Amino acid sequence: MLQRNELREKIKDYMGTIRLSGFESRMAYKLLNDLGSYADRASIDRMGNVIATFNGTDPEAPSLMIFAHMDVIGFIVSRIEPDGFLRFERVGGISEKIVQGIAVMVGSESGTFYPGMIGAKAYHGQLAEEKSKVDPFSSLFIDIGAGSERQVNELGIYVGCPVTFAPNYVELLGDRIAGAYIDDAAGMANLVQIASILNERRPRCSVHLVGTVMEEFNARGAMMAARTANTDMAICLLGPGAGDTPDQRGVNNVVLGGGPAVTLMNFHGKGTLNGNIAHQGMYQRLRKVAEDRGIPLQRSAARGALSDTAYLQLEGLGIPCLDMGTPDRYSHSPMETCDLGDLEKVGLLVAAFIDSIDRDFNLNRY
C-alpha cells in the first residue's frame, strides 16, 4: 500500500506532467503504466481514457468505476503576431485576474514544450487608473522570446498548439503542498493508492480505476469511459473548494486538514443546467464506512461547478454517482493547495467503500 511519502511523490509527478485538455497522452501513458502494474488489465479507450480493471470475486456484485480527470485547464494558441508574440484562447475556467506575469509552457506540433510567460504591462508604463484594472484575455499575449512569426513556426508552434501553466511544486508547512494542477493530480494519486490496496486485497465487486480526458473542456470523458468499462456505479474523485480562507468564509464549512469531503449537490447554471445530487444509497454507505473506520467526512453542497458525474449519471439506465475527494484552495489558479493527510484519507475511505460493496447493494435511487 502506498505510504504518505509515496503519495507525495506521485502527486508531485502528476502535477509536473503537461496534460492540457485534449492533449493528455503523456499523462495517459504514465497512468496506464502506474495502474497497469497492479490491475488485471489496463488499456486506453478511443477517447484517451485510461481504464484499469480489477476483477471482483463475486460476479453478482455491481461493478464500480472510480475516476479522476487527467486533463488540466490552460490555453490554445489562436494567433501568432508578426513579431513573434502569441495570442491565445482559454481552455476551461480561468480568470483574467490570475494570469498576467505567470510562467507558461507552449507546446509545438512535434510535442516539444517551450517556456514562456504571459506578459504583464510594465508597472512604470501604466496609467494610474490601469493599475487596479484587469485586462481582458483578448489584450494579453505570450512571449517565448521569439522575434518573428517565422521563428515561432520553425519551432513547430502554430495556431492550435497547447499552452499550460509552467509546472511548479512547493511544500508548505505541515503536510500541505501547493502548485499548479493539484486539480486533479490529487485524484490520480488516489487512483494509484487505491490500486495498491486492491492489489493486496481483492474486492468482491469488479473495480475500474479510470483516468478521464477533457473534464475541464466538456466534462464528458467519464461518460465515454463508462461505455467501455460498462460500470454499474461510479465515484468521481474531485474535492470541493474549501471555505476556510478569508475570501471564502461562509461559502461552506469544508476546511483543509479536515479529511475527505463529499459533495451532496453541485450544479452549474450558465448554459449548462446540469449537476449531481448525490445518490443517497452511495452517500449513506460512504458515511457509514467513514464512521466505522474513524475517518472524518466533510460535506459540501454548492452551485457554480459540476463534474463529469452530471453527464455520467444519465448513461444507460442511469449510473449512481458520487463526487468526493481532497478539498483544495485557490482552484484553477497557478497555485492551488491541499493537505496530504486529507489526500491519504480519501484513498483509504474509497478503499473501505469498495470493500463494503456486495451483491445486495441497491443501485436504485430508492
Closest chain position to Zn ion (CB): 183
> What sign results for the dihedral spanned by CA atoms 286, 292, 297, 301?
positive
Options 119-127, 181-189, 263-271, 274-282: segment touching Zn ion (CB under 5 A): 181-189
User: Which residues, 6 or more positions from 10, have their beta carbon under 8 angstroms from its beta carbon?
Assistant: 2, 34, 188, 189, 192, 193
| Collapsed DSSP state (helix, strand, coil) of residue 299 | strand
CB 214 to Zn ion: min, Å: 11
Q: Which of 72, 333, 30, 342 is nearest to 178 (CA)?
A: 333
CA-CA distance, 179 to 166, in Å (whole number)?
Answer: 10
* Active-site residue identified among 6, 89, 200, 215: 215
Residues 235-294 that bind Zn ion (CB under 5 A): none
Nearer to Zn ion, 34 or 71 (CB): 71
CA-CA distance, 321 to 283, in Å (whole number)?
Answer: 9
Nearer to Zn ion, 84 or 221 (CB): 221
Start-to-end CA span in the chain (Å): 35
| Collapsed DSSP state (helix, strand, coil) of residue 168 | coil
CA-CA distance, 181 to 83, in Å (whole number)?
Answer: 31
Contact track, Zn ion, 182-201, x by CB under 5 A:
-x------------------
Nearer to Zn ion, 184 or 342 (CB): 184
H/E stretch holding 89: strand 86-91
Nearer to Zn ion, 176 or 268 (CB): 268
Contact track, Zn ion, 134-173, x by CB under 5 A:
----------------------------------------
Would residue 200 show up in a list of annotated catalytic residues for this protein? no
Nearer to Zn ion, 183 or 308 (CB): 183
Options 52-60, 178-186, 203-211, 248-256: segment touching Zn ion (CB under 5 A): 178-186
CB 168 to Zn ion: min, Å: 17
User: Which residues, 6 or more positions from 217, have their beta carbon under 8 angstroms from its beta carbon?
Assistant: 21, 22, 71, 91, 92
Helices then strands, each counted (H, E), the chain:
8, 18
Residues tagged active-site: 215
The footprint of Zn ion (CB under 5 A) covers: 183
